[in-house]
Amino acid sequence: MSLHIKMEQTRDVAVLQCCGRLVRGEALRLLEDAVTSLSRQRVVVLDLSEVEMLDCGALGMLVFLHKWTRSSGIQLKLVNPSRLAREMLMRTRLMSVLHVSSIDDVVDIFCGSHRTTKNVDRAAA
């Protein structure tokens, strides 16, 4: 299965639900384009609950996106990583670098945001 990203936006918060394989190639370009297109958001949430595969290229991309959002004044939050994703983040000690949040944190973010919602789907082959 390739990577599929479903995006929901409020006025200043975007949630990108990632499903499938987050691996080198088109999938990482898709994720980079999706996140960097959100330069006007206050918070970008990456839901990793349905990520089936995560390679070292994906870990590098998460670090890049963390640095890019930080330099752009955006908060990047990783939410609900799948068992595999959580294990990879813990083994590489990226849990201490990247902000991994609970689903309750995301609900709090949405409750504090304006509720104009926009849905967008993206997919990589």
**For the segment 20-64, what is each residue's pLDDT rounded down to a tens digit?**
999 999 999 999 999 999 999 999 999 999 999 999 999 999 999
Q: Which pLDDT value is given to residue 112?
A: 64
Q: Which residue has the higher pLDDT, 125 or 115?
A: 125
The mean pLDDT of 107-117, rounded to a whole number, is 58
Q: Could you write out the DSSP letters of every residue in 67-87?
A: HHHHHTT-EEEEES--HHHHH
Residue 2 has pLDDT above 50, yes or no: yes
Domains for the chain: give ranges and CATH numbers: 4-115 (3.30.750.24)
The pLDDT score that the predictor gives to residue 28 is 96
Would you give the distance in Å from CA 79 to the centre of its chain? 8
> Tens of pLDDT along 56-88?
999 999 999 999 999 999 999 999 999 999 999
Distances (CA, A) of 79 to 16, 46, 49, 98: 10, 6, 7, 11
